[in-house]
Amino acid sequence: MSIRSGWLRCVAVLWLLVFFLSCGGSSSKSAFLYLASQGTDPGTVTAYSIDLSKGTLSSSTGQLTPVGKSANTGTQPSALLFNPTQTFAYTANTGSDDISTFTVNKDGSLAAAQATTKVYSTPGNATRPVALAMDPAAHFLFVANEGVFVSNTDPTLNIAGNLSVFSIGSGGALTAVPNSPFPLLETSPPLPVKAAQPLPSAVAVSNQGNFVYVTDRTNGCVLGFSFDSTTGALSSVPNQTVVVGSAPNSVFSPPTGNFLYVANAASNDIYEFIINSDGSLSSITTVGTTTPVIATTGNGPIAMTSDSPAKFLFVVANQGNEVLGYLINHVTGVLSPVALTTGTASTGAGPVAIAVRSDGSTNGNYWVFTSNNGASTVSTFSLVYNTGTLNPLPQLAAPLAPYGVAAR
């Protein structure tokens, strides 16, 4: 009898331990922040652990402490992207015209694949990849290439920006789809001035439907494509070219609703769109009018993201050295700025990228991170979820010239 009682007590203790770990320990989960750095050649991507109960990054005397070893990228990594299940990642390497693929080590650090994937318009011609996007099913990787502009007098020396598409295989292996890269042709509707050589600056995939959108910084427009879910081939959507503000630098489709936002670096505003069933864009308008809704933002917006439920849109203002928060109306798509005193927070100099991480609980803590290229630092903010308030945590020194940032 005593043996049975002791066995039952052991079972009870084990059950309580399992219960605690599964229900009470969301903050004990491993979480990591990843930074791609342009300060060396080749560049690097490094992992740092996040304390999900506090939002703090592993550090010592104000310096980030890495997890494991840094992995080499190509030259000048400018974007960092994980697949939806966060089992592999990519960097777009602007200086070496290639894409690096990484898998995740047991300790959370990244391991580089055997070889990089070259991104060429024609063999040997540089394209300078600058931005990455992936469809929700992780079938295709879309790469915005800014091209090369050398001469006004001899256009043959220039390489026009374009959009590359790769199918994603096992372990993140990339294979260019037929006819990739695809050109950007601003023809419908006509632009207000004669189109110049396109300069792609950002790319985003809609969360519903097979649509991808690319911003053209030179011509101040956004272009839409539909992609074949089997082959990845691109085709134009109706009224493909939509004029936006000056120098669009970021495009984002939140994970809830058929909305698209374009942030313009020179006009300091955000154009707001509804994505129609055919992929065409309609401006979100003021109630009862045909006046487009355009949100003002900080100086030089360069990147956007949201929390996973898409309650908030966060915008990084590169020249204003700040991050700004907006509420997303899930019915209309209209953005409403969070009060300047609480929803705007200062970063380090030259912020270029942003990531958001929660602890995964129902009423969870959310942490916002910016990569500050000019200051070589990372800024961290705790997000008060019911108000949108951003409270800063201590800023930490990062590897030289950090750029792409991601959290998992």
Residues 23-63: tens digit of each pLDDT: 444 444 689 999 999 999 999 999 999 999 899 999 999 99
pLDDT tens track for 142-151: 999 998 776 6
Sequence-distant (6+) residues with CB within 8 A of 341 are none
**CA distance linking residue 283 with residue 242, whole number of Å:** 10
Among left, alpha and beta (phi > 0; psi -120 to 50; other), residue 300 is left
**Arithmetic mean of pLDDT, 334-359:** 92
pLDDT at 196: 79
pLDDT at 148: 79
- Phi then psi for residue 156, to 5 deg, are -65, -20
Residue 7 has pLDDT above 70, yes or no: no
pLDDT tens track for 253-309: 999 999 999 999 999 999 999 999 999 999 999 887 889 999 999 999 999 999 999
**CA distance linking residue 255 with residue 377, whole number of Å:** 28
For the purposes of burial, counting CB atoms within 10 Å of the CB of 378, is it exposed (0-12), middle (13-18) or buried (19 or more)?
buried
**pLDDT-derived band at 160, boundaries 50, 70, 90:** confident
Lowest mean pLDDT among 25-29, 91-95, 174-178, 282-286: 25-29
**Arithmetic mean of pLDDT, 200-222:** 95
Q: Can you read off the two tokens belonging to residue 82? A: 């994980």
**Arithmetic mean of pLDDT, 340-361:** 90
Residue 230 has pLDDT above 50, yes or no: yes
pLDDT tens track for 375-384: 999 999 999 9
pTM, to two decimals: 0.90
Query: What's at 312, amino acid-wise?
Result: F
**CA distance linking residue 184 with residue 198, whole number of Å:** 7
Residue 11 carries which DSSP code? H
pLDDT at 361: 67
